[in-house]
Amino acid sequence: MTVEYQVVNPTTGTVEKKFPTATDAEITSAVDRSAGAFGVWSTTPLDERVRLMHRVADLHAERADELAALITREMGKTTAEAVDEVEYCVDIYRYYADQASTLLADERLDSTSEGKAFIRKAPIGPLLGIMPWNYPYYQVARFAGPNLTVGNTILLKHAPSCPESALAMEQLFRDAGLPADAYINVFASNEQAADIIADPRVRGVSVTGSERAGTAVASLAGQNLKKVVLELGGSDAFIVLDTDRLPEVVSDAVGARMENAGQACNAAKRFIVAEPLYNEFVELLTAEMAALTMGDPSDPETAYGPLSSEAAASGLMTQVQDAIDKGAVVHTGGRRPEGPGAFVEATVLTDVTPEMRAYREELFGPVAVVYKVKDADEALALANDSPFGLGGAVYHSDPDVALDVANRLDTGMVWVNEPQGGGPELPFGGTKRSGVGRELGPYGIDEFVNRKLIHVPDNG
């Protein structure tokens, strides 16, 4: 039996536990069970689904330390950030439970036809979620939270490097009291995931991951006429045009770049700075990045731990070395420390040019690239010269100018005079190769519903 799912501790490089990939018979059984559970879960009264979603939130809160420890070992997130991630999941499940009756309320339509017309939102069936390793609980929460609340059932293929956290979530949903097969974890291969997508009972698929994964899944979904939501990569611009509080802005920049050791699709990755502020910005950014403590993610003194895997660390260093070889300037970092673990030093690069991989590719790790521009127009041209369009941040002392720049950014999200943030009520998603669809907020619950038109004549 092929072993694909395993825990490889990125701090030590040690293989700690292995799990067998599901058999084809087990995958068939999982789809059968999910389809069967849909008939029960979709007809469960909304008040009862809401009650159980609150219980899911409760269990995340109660098990926060236990859940956090799993992902610290699986993918290297610091303990503090891991606990924060679990607590954010609590907020997401509570948001959808609290807002369900409003978000799923009938929408009355004005109609020239005599009678009453309205849209009623209904669940559509089993859904497949394909989730990444960088936020093992949060990514699941923003997919499972709204869709379970609606009444859809979930088949969840997690990243092969996160099997223990995947199983912990499946157990949590069972312990919360959901029907046994409303949420099913599947240790599926990519080929088996394709079979799940092709099954006519599975009505949609949501992917958070790489462009390559998104392209493959979108193609399969299209062939099988399935709705798809794709949350893919990002190379977000952090634009600083005018400020009288540069040290605070730089601290915002460091936080926006270094969360989760820089392994976030919506992390700030390209820092585009007006010429009068550029030299001081680079100096302050370099000092703050160099002062961050790298090490054991379970140590409370550690600011950032390893990358998720040896492959992630070596891949990032290949991109960095390409830039260095072609003339980029390293202000701090640019190396891997000696010893075990998938560690990469916090790095600041300047003088990155279009012929370098770092100019167009996403740098998924603790590497900040800083560019100098003359004005807002040049900043926008550079910011939009990217295959990605996820998010961005704009700093300017004149709010009207900042808003004008925000309007012209070709992205799905923009933050003005603050680092990129979020909340369960705020839609998340991008444009271009960053994906299609939205998660979280009122739009997140609308992605996999049947917006059913009902018309009742006056005499009906």
Count of alpha carbons within 13 angstroms of residue 124, beta-carbon side: 19
Structure tokens at 214: 């998104």
- Is 226:197 a contact under the CB 8 Å cutoff? yes
**How far is CA 187 from each of CA 20, 162, 198, 230, rounded to the nearest angstrom?**
8, 10, 17, 21
Determine contact, residues 394/380, Cβ cutoff 8 Å: no
Residues 6+ apart with CB under 8 A from 315: none
At residue 298, φ and ψ (nearest 5 deg) are -85, -5
Q: Which residues, other chains included, contact 304 with Cβ-Cβ below 8 Å and sequence gap of 6+?
A: 78, 258, 261, 262, 292, 293, 294, 297, 346, 366
How far, in Å, CA of 257 to CA of 290, rounded?
Answer: 13
Active site (catalytic) residues? 231, 265
Give dist(CA 328, CA 356) in Å, integer: 9
Pairing of strands 268-274, 415-416: unpaired
Integer Cα distance of 324 and 136 in angstroms:
33
Phi, psi at residue 200, to the nearest 5°?
-65, -20
SS3 181: coil
Half-sphere exposure at residue 174, Cβ-oriented, CA atoms within 13 angstroms = 10
For residue 377, the SS3 value is: helix
- Helix, strand, coil proportions of the chain in percent (round to 5)? 45, 20, 35
Q: Rg of the chain over CA atoms, in angstroms?
A: 23
CB-based contacts of 223, cutoff 8 Å, min separation 6: 198
Distance CA 71, CA 67 (A): 7
Half-sphere exposure of 69 (CA within 13 A, CB side): 3
Q: Report whether 448 contacts 150 (CB < 8 A).
A: yes
Report the relative pairing of strands 126-130 and 204-208 from DSSP bridges.
Answer: parallel
For residue 146, give the H/E element and its range: helix 138-150
